[in-house]
Amino acid sequence: MMKRPLLQLFFRLFLLTLSLDSIRAGLPEDFASANGKLSSGHADEVLSTYKTLLTYPEFKTLGSAEIWYNRGLAEMQTGDAVAASLSFRRALLLDPALLPARVELSKTLGALGIPVPNGWKERSMQSIHPETMIVGGAVIGWIGALALIVLLFQASRKKALIVLALTLIVVGHGTSLLGTMADPRRTARHQAVLTAKEAVTLRATPADSATESGKLDPGTLVNILSQNGAWWYVSTGTRSGALQGWIHSNTATSLLPSSKGSS
Amino acid sequence: MKPFRIIKLSAFALILLTGLLLPSRLHAADVSVSAELSHPQISQGEMAELQIKVSGAQQADVPQQIQVNGLQIRLTGQSTQVQMVNFKVTSSVVYSYIVMPLRTGNFTIPGVTVMADGRQFRTAELSFSVDDSRMASNPPPPSSSQMALPPGIPMPGFQQQRARPVQQQPDEGKLVFGEIHCPKKTLYAGEMTPVEIRYYFDARYPVQVRGRVDFGCEGILVERFPDPKQTREDRDGITYNVLTFHSLLSAVKPGSLDVAPAKLDCEIEIPGGLPPGFDDPVFRQLMGGQPGISQSKQVTVKTSGLHLEVLPLPKEGRPESFAGAVGEFDIDSIVSNPHPAAGDPANLVVKIGGRGNFKGMGAPVLTQTEGWRSYPPNDKFDSSDELSYTGVKSFDFTLIAQQAQKESPGCEFSYFDPTTAKYVTLTSKPLPLVASPGGAPTVDSGTGATPSSPPPSNSTGQNSTKNVPAKEGEPLPGITLRSWTTPMQRSEFLIATLAMFVATAALAGMLAYWKIQSQGGTAASRRRKQIAELRSLLIGGSVDAGASYEAALEYTELVLPPSEKRDDLLSGLTARRDLLKYGSGASLPLPALEHRDLLESLNLTPSSPKAP
């Protein structure tokens, strides 16, 4: 009689371990009413509500793509396209397959005059969530590994089955690795969006009086290469020849929310 | 050191130095970005060309479209140029946009952000106006818009087969010349027409092509040239090597247009005379029979000019869904997933096939979209020729059902047919599918009946499989919590992976143990078992004499280490066994005395310790 609850508990723990289970937070009434107000065009009022919501304990380690998306809409309605671009980027960080966020980010970046990222990572993430690739690939890879072990110890070794098991291992773990490489969250810790109201000046050394080495538009995504006090050494890309320089950290906001809930 | 070796080493050093210097010169180039409009003012019905030139880079990221209310600005193509002058390499890339006005008025084309060489640049704003009055078509100012050749075209490397230079001085008019063939001299704005450029080189003289085909002028767009075809042709008794370039040409602005000749720079080796005082048979003999000292001559091969009459697209009968397509097309549509799960998007793929300006055409327009939410389509072009003149362009619309649906939206696509000089509207009918919004039960595919009760509210997100807003720009309901880190960065995933390693190793160990057990254990345990069996057989004496000696032999081989004593014992036992075997006593029981002697020779007694 004890077996079934134990089995359920084990299954639940297994799903939690693999993070396949999306935890449903009890939707606060504030969120529903904020959505209603946003629909009726009261973006100014609801913006603070969304910001408050993101300080809830649920969001200490986790995030909600929907809240960031709605917050981005509110910011867009209040005319803050730069902040909206950050919110949409965060929504896509949590759920790269969230089509409305991708559409709104394209619009926002278009309004800011910034090219919309459309590399292989973005395209592949539109159809499949990286989490699914990583976890699903790992499961397939391990099934292949277990099957191979069993087949190797069988008296009659069937070559076709062994090849199939090896294929499962390669494809499964390869998919898992590919998902990890494509997952935008992997590098998000070292990325920031320029949120200053005007173009940000890149400097050769971490000082206001240092030589200018270029300017970057607000809304641009940069990679943080190192830090020196309140200064960040950033790069606009990974290719050689990418523009690099020091910016003051108050001109940019980290792509990952600082307290994993609010910024 | 031998001179030949010195030359080889010098050449190698030069190549190495060039290889090292060239990339640095390329990287060191300063990048600059500029934008230019072919015409800052046009009449409605005409089109203009916007060019963004990125100097100092070979590749840049630019937007596919530029959003300006009242204008449709789409990227149509790019061309890259790499030049080396005095060992200084410069490269530039030009992105061409078609500017199609949707209404009259004054517009400001905003600055465009361009990412080049890892840096960000922004072009200046441009003013643009569209008026209603039909302006007189002024001939465009002559300019040379160079069409860069794609990498891989053997232009700089094109070298005519080394021909034996002839003695007589060639007629320069017949030495090299070019021709241009354009089947249509009158075309509509936006219409694409093939153009063929042929360059003839007298096969008797060595030629090296240097540079690119320089063709085009303001007001026309020339597609990039694919690899030229090389053929031979006889004309007026002279054999020519012919380079044939094919491309597509389209005009942007209506009016009369004089396109400058297409030019190509090359170097020809022409035989020259001998210096005064050396023009005698003896000197010719010394030169190995050469008629004279050949000289290289820089020549620009030109075709004739091209006169085009460009007609505006008629305003009369222009359908609402017309978005710049000019040519002959057909339409086809499919739903790639006719049974999406509740809340999942369906994909309607509309395929426009035929020939025409695929790069400049806009997307088809969806019809009967009630109850659907659609997103701007992704497009993909599959060309069936190297010029991208014919092919199929697919527009993939993502559709999300806002209510239970049994059919996809329809589709409408309009184009201008230059052959009949009329607009044509193609339609595709709605296609059957079964889709329902998130949280709502799907339509019964058998009866087509929709549920009588309203779908449960998904404001809490409990019933929603996919979060979709009711309308574009509407907030999303429901909250799904997700981690900010990838599984690989989470301890639980790493623990699960470690657990799988342990489980796999445990499984392997378990299977190995079972396999060993099924084979009677390890070799040592099998040996021990065999010795024990032989020992009990020999001590028991229950077998006949022949079998006893067989067992004794086997026991000796197993128990005793190789030695002289062992060999003696084995030969004694073998001799006795053979005697019994070839006599008649093998099947008889072993006599008690002999049994005792046998056990003693093997150091076996009923109470003897177990064999090692």
Computed over every residue of chain A, the mean pLDDT equals 82
Tell me, what CATH number does B278's domain have? 2.60.40
- Which residue in B62, B376, B485 is closest to A115 by CB distance? B62
Contact with chain B for residue A239, Cβ under 8 A: yes
CA separation (Å) from B165 to B169, B201, B272, B279, B295?
A: 10, 14, 10, 17, 11
ipTM: 0.82
- pLDDT bin (cut points 50, 70, 90) of residue B95 is confident
Write down the pLDDT at residue B329: 92
Same domain, B540 and B583: yes
Same domain for B330 and B300, yes or no, is: no
Per-residue confidence (pLDDT) for residue B83, from 0 to 100: 61
Nearest-5° angle of CA B540, CA B541, CA B546? 145
Give how far A191 is from chain B: nearest CA, Å: 13
Reply yes or no on domain A189-254 having CATH 2.30.30.40: yes
Same domain, B219 and B325: no
What is the model's pLDDT at position B256? 86
Longest Cα–Cα distance in chain A: 77
Task: Answer whether residue B391 shows pLDDT above 70.
Answer: yes
Q: Cα B81 from chain centroid?
A: 22
Contact in structure between B199 and B242 (CB atoms under 8 Å) = yes
Examine residue B460 and state whether it is found in any structural domain, yes or no: no
Q: How far apart are the first and last CA of chain B?
A: 79
**Dihedral, CA atoms, B353, B359, B360, B366, nearest 10 degrees?**
50
Residue B8, pLDDT score: 56
Q: Choose the final residue of a domain: B391, B418, B435.
A: B435
Q: How confident is the model at residue A238 (pLDDT cuts 50, 70, 90)?
A: low
Give the H or E element holding residue B516.
helix B491-518
Contact with chain A for residue B485, Cβ under 8 A: yes
pLDDT of amino acid A167 = 95
Length reported for chain B: 612
Give me the pLDDT at residue A241, please.
61
Across the interface, do A103 and B63 touch by the CB < 8 Å criterion?
no
Chain B residues in contact with A186 by the CB 8 A cut-off are 486, 488-489
pLDDT above 60 (res B358):
yes
Q: Given this model, what pLDDT does residue A168 score?
A: 95
Is the CB of B336 inside 8 Å of chain A's CB atoms? no
Percentage of chain B beyond pLDDT 90 is 7
Residue B607: pLDDT band with limits 50, 70, 90: low
CA distance B43 to A38: 42
CA-nearest of B235, B234, B237, B216 to B225 is: B216
Main-chain dihedrals φ then ψ at residue A45, nearest 5 degrees: -70, -40
The region that residue B406 occupies, defined by phi over 0 for left and psi between -120 and 50 for alpha, beta otherwise, is alpha
B399 SS3 class? strand
Higher pLDDT, B32 or A260: B32
| B315, pLDDT greater than 80 | yes
In the prediction, which pLDDT does A12 show?
58
> Contact, A174 vs A139, CB < 8 A?
no
Minimum mean pLDDT among B62-71, B104-113, B594-603: which range? B62-71
CATH number at B114 reads: 2.60.40.10
A31:B479 CB<8 A? yes
Instruction: Over range B50-54, report the average pLDDT.
Output: 87
Residue B222, token pair as written in the block: 């020339």
Query: Alpha-carbon distance B311 to B250, whole Å?
Result: 12
CB B51 within 8 A of CB B146: no
What are the tens digits of pLDDT across the range B445-472?
333 333 333 333 333 333 333 455 555 6
| Closest chain B residue by Cα to residue A177 | B488
In the predicted structure, residue A24 carries a pLDDT above the cut 50: no
The per-residue pLDDT for B280 is: 62
| The two three-digit tokens of residue B385, written as one number | 């020729």
**Residue A97 in contact with partner chain B when CB distance is under 8 A:** no
Give contacts of A104 with chain B, Cβ < 8 Å.
Answer: 473
B342 and B396 inside one domain: yes
User: Which residues, numbered 92 to 111 in chain B, qualify as contacts with chain A under a Cβ-Cβ cut-off of 8 Å?
Assistant: 110-111
Q: How many CB atoms lie within 10 A of CB B96?
A: 22
B246 and B302 Cβ atoms separated by less than 8 Å: no
Q: Mark whether B223 and B257 lie in a shared domain.
A: yes
- Rounded average pLDDT over A118-130: 74
Strands B306-311 and B186-188: parallel
- Cβ pair A134:B488 closer than 8 A: yes
Which of B94, B81, B83 has its CA nearest to residue B25?
B83
pLDDT on residue A86: 93
Do B292 and B369 belong to one domain?
no
**For chain B, give me the number of helices (H) and strands (E)?**
8, 33
- Residue B88 within a domain: yes
Q: Give me the pLDDT at residue B352, please.
A: 92
Tokens 């569209």 appear where?
Answer: B130
Calculate the dihedral angle through the C-alpha atoms of A148, A151, A157, A158, rounding to the nearest 10 degrees. Answer: -70
Interface test with B, best of A14, A16, A24, A215 (most B CBs within 10 A): A24
With cut-offs at 50, 70 and 90, classify the pLDDT of residue A194: very high
Query: Which residue of chain A comes nearest to B515, CA vs CA?
Result: A153
As a 3-state breakdown, chain B gives helix, strand, coil percent values, each rounded to 5, of: 20, 35, 40
Give the nearest partner residue to A142 out of B467, B481, B500, using CB atoms: B500
Q: Using an 8 Å Cβ cutoff, are A94 and B482 in contact?
A: yes
Q: Are residues B188 and B116 in the same domain?
A: no
pLDDT for the residue numbered B362: 83
Q: Does A6 touch chain B (CB under 8 A)?
A: no
Q: Tell which of B402, B435, B468 closes a domain.
A: B435
Which whole number is the average pLDDT over A34-50? 83
- B30–chain A Cβ distance below 8 A for any pair: no
Residue B64 maps to a domain: yes
More confident residue, A247 or B340: A247
Of A18, A38, A64, the CB nearest to B481: A64
| DSSP per residue, B140-179 | PPP---PPPPPTT--TTT-B---PPPPSSPP-HHHHEEEE
> Average pLDDT of chain B?
76
Which one has a higher pLDDT value, B453 or A22?
Answer: A22
B125 contacts chain A (CB < 8 A): no
Which of A86, A98, A84, A102 is closest to A38 using CA atoms?
A84
pLDDT at A253: 93
pLDDT of residue A16: 53
Mean pLDDT within B503-521: 86
Residue B453 DSSP symbol: S
Residue A20 has pLDDT above 50, yes or no: no
CB contact under 8 A, B486 and A138: no
- Mutation for testing the A interface, residue in B479, B495, B517 having most A CBs under 10 Å: B479
Rank A18-32, A238-252, B248-262, B501-515 by mean pLDDT and report only the highest.
Answer: B501-515
Quick: pLDDT tens for A91-116: 999 988 888 888 888 888 877 877 77
Please check whether residue A138 is in contact with residue A172, taking contact to mean a CB–CB distance below 8 angstroms: yes
Q: What's the rounded Cα separation, in Å, for the pair B166 and A165?
A: 71
Contacts of B61 in chain A (CB under 8 A): 115
Judged by average pLDDT, the poorest of A119-123, B266-270, B543-547 is A119-123
Using an 8 Å Cβ cutoff, are B527 and B558 in contact?
Answer: yes
Which pLDDT value is given to residue B608?
52
The pTM of the full predicted model, rounded to 2 decimals, is 0.46
Cβ contact A39–B398 (<8 Å): no
Give domain status of residue B548, yes or no.
Answer: yes
A chain contacts of residue B63, beta-carbon cutoff 8 Å: 110, 115-116
Are B242 and B230 contacting, i.e. CB atoms less than 8 angstroms apart?
yes
The label of the residue with tokens 């090692």 reads B612
Cite the beta strand spans of chain A per DSSP E: 62-64, 191-194, 200-203, 212-216, 221-228, 231-235, 244-248, 252-254
Q: Is the pLDDT of residue A164 over 80?
A: yes
Secondary structure in 3-state letters for B541-604 = CCCEHHHHHHHHHHHHHHHCCCCHHHHHHHHHHHHHHHHHHHCCCCCCECCHHHHHHHHHHCCC
Instruction: Kindly report, residue by residue over A208-229, the tens digit of the pLDDT.
Output: 888 988 888 899 999 999 988 8
**Whether residue B325 sits in one domain with residue B297:** no
The pLDDT of residue B22 is: 44
Which is higher by pLDDT, B227 or B410? B410
Last residue of a domain, one of B260, B285, B310: B310
pLDDT value at residue B443: 33
Q: Which listed CATH number (1.25.40.10, 2.40.50.140, 3.40.50.1000, 2.60.40.150) goes with A29-116?
A: 1.25.40.10
Question: What average pLDDT score do residues B332-349 get?
Answer: 83
Cβ–Cβ gap B482/A62 under 8 Å = yes
**B303 and B236 together in one domain:** yes
Please give the average per-residue pLDDT across B105-126, as a whole number: 82
Whether residues B549 and B576 share a domain: the answer is: yes
Q: Residue B188 domain-assigned?
A: yes
Helix axes A120-127, A99-112, angle to 10 degrees: 150
User: Is B456 touching A (CB cutoff 8 A)?
Assistant: no
For A13-27, b/e burial (b = at least 16 CB within 10 A) is eeeebbbeeeeebeb
- Is the per-residue pLDDT at A150 higher than 60? yes
- Our count of domains for chain B comes to 4
Which candidate, A109, A237, A219, A20, places its Cα nearest to that of B481? A20
Q: Are residues B264 and B349 in the same domain?
A: no
Is the CB of A24 less than 8 angstroms away from the CB of B122?
A: no
Structural tokens at position B604 = 């076996």
Range of the domain at B408: 317-435
- pLDDT category of residue B396 using cuts at 50, 70 and 90: confident
User: Do B306 and B321 share a domain, yes or no?
Assistant: no
Ranking B158-162, B320-324, B588-592 by mean pLDDT, the lowest is B158-162
Comparing B171 with A230, the larger pLDDT belongs to A230
Residues B482 and B372: their CA atoms lie apart, in Å, by: 28
Which of A237-246, B27-36, B241-250, B290-299 is modeled with the greatest confidence? B241-250
